[in-house]
Amino acid sequence: MWQTAQWGKPQNAAGAICGIIVNVTTTWTEPGSTPLALLLLGQGTDANAERGVDCPGVLPAPSDPDLVARATAAKAALGTRVFVLGHHYQRDEVIQFADVTGDSFKLAREAAARPAAEFIVFCGVHFMAESADILTSDAQQVVLPDLGAGCSMADMAALAQVEACWDRLDELFLAGSTVPVTYMNSSADIKGFVGRRGGVVCTSSNAERALRWAFERGQRVLFLPDQHLGRNTAVRQMGIDADDCVLYDPHKPGGGLTAEQLRNAKMVLWRGHCSVHGRFTLSCVQEVRHRVPGVRVLVHPECRYEVVTAADEVGSTEYIIRTIEQAPPGSCWAIGTELNLVRRLANEHPDKEIMFLDRTVCYCSTMNRIDLPHLVWALEELVAGRVVNRITVDADTARYARVALDQMLALP
Ligand code: 13P
Ligand code: SF4
């Protein structure tokens, strides 16, 4: 049953840009289940999500012709007090103001390597900003220009669900031989959970190293929250049998798995996925190969197993960029990752033919929440001495999440 609720607040700039309904949340309710708030560019806060969606303050109009000049002036006024990090999926209008661009791993390292910057403005999503807060000193403040920039995959693993899964493993005397590994795309409390239990964080560029590290310490891995990255790394890169990977569904009693299945598993994969990368299917790969003879297919490891298996190259956003930079002129590529990045690569490499793997346009809607009006607003507020949208992680969670993050940064 679909339910729609009106929120009382005035329309913000994000709604005006996108030109779609704002101030409305739509809720899908399975009979007898908890409503799932979608918060489509809405306002208010979803307590079940890893982020909030409020944007306090008055945003500049997206049509303001001075936005670029205003961002330039605000950055110049702040000088070395501010450091702007930009994930590769950010819009061009935002990326132009990033001091460093990168994948999740590079950005985490860059945040940790800037002790002199008083403010880290993170143009990315909430879990990345949380990790930056954990990896920086107490004197530094991390700002996410729009709190609506969450990640639907990170929202698929809530702490209470993960604790229930661990309790189940414990009941079966399996917890002691299981090492938890969480993808960077998870909330700080999941990273804290993993750090407390001797596990590690990984990103798409070091998942294999993290899994090898984990298997040196236990017989099985609980991999959170992206089933695809977990399966792709275990089966394709490490040669683990697909039958040794089981899927734990947090919405089913006992994860939907028998004691025997859990006991025999090498990889317990959490049933989470990225809704953007989930769009790429095997038929997208077959269709482009048929349509464009000689095309090379390059995809992110968050894509499904059959897509990654049918592709020519697989890797993180940083790997995708490097591959295109090193590709010979005249080569032809179909790329399966977020559209802002694919479009930027196509513009930057006119000597190569670069196309989006899916015929249908698809941005990461939460990455896209960070736009120039939000960036200008956040920077100008800092100039005025006000820190807006600060991301903080409580000390206890941060302490253990840092253990798991430091372990990742120290992987051989
Ligand atoms: P990368 O670490 O490859 O940049 O990926 C981050 C992400 O969110 C992909 O969806
Ligand atoms: Fe999350 Fe997918 Fe967006 Fe990455 S692309 S931030 S995994 S929803």
Q: What percent of the chain has pLDDT over 70?
A: 86
Q: Ligand 1 centre and the CA of 271: distance in Å?
A: 18
* pLDDT tens track for 348-390: 999 999 999 998 877 899 999 999 999 999 999 999 999 999 9
> 3-state DSSP call for residue 277?
helix
Domain boundaries, the chain: 67-151+367-392, 154-274, 277-356
> How far, in Å, CA of 109 to CA of 132, rounded?
9
Sheet of 245-248, strand order:
200-202, 178-183, 220-224, 267-270, 245-248
pLDDT for the residue 2: 30
Contacts 24+ apart (CB under 8 A), 255-261: 255/165, 255/168, 259/172
The residue to mutate among 109, 203, 363, having the most atoms of ligand 1 within 8 angstroms of its beta carbon, is: 203
User: At 76, which amino acid appears?
Assistant: A
Confirm if 121 and 83 have CB atoms less than 8 A apart: yes
Residue minimizing CA distance to atom 7 of ligand 2: 274
Select from 1.10.3430, 3.40.91, 1.10.10, 3.40.50 the CATH code of 154-274: 3.40.50
Query: What is the block-wise mean pLDDT of the chain (412 residues), using blocks of 10 residues?
Result: 28 28 33 45 49 66 93 98 97 97 90 92 96 93 93 96 98 98 96 98 96 98 98 97 98 97 98 95 97 97 98 96 98 97 96 94 89 95 95 96 95 90
> How far, in Å, CA of 25 to CA of 356, rounded?
30
Q: Ligand 1 centre and the CA of 95: distance in Å?
A: 16
Residue minimizing CA distance to atom 2 of ligand 2: 274
Fold of 67-151+367-392: Rossmann fold (3.40.50)
Query: Which neighbouring-strand residues pair with 100?
Result: 85
Select from 3.40.50.10800, 3.40.50.2300, 3.40.50.720, 3.40.50.20 the CATH code of 277-356: 3.40.50.10800
pLDDT for the residue 151: 94
67-151+367-392 and 154-274: identical CATH topology: yes
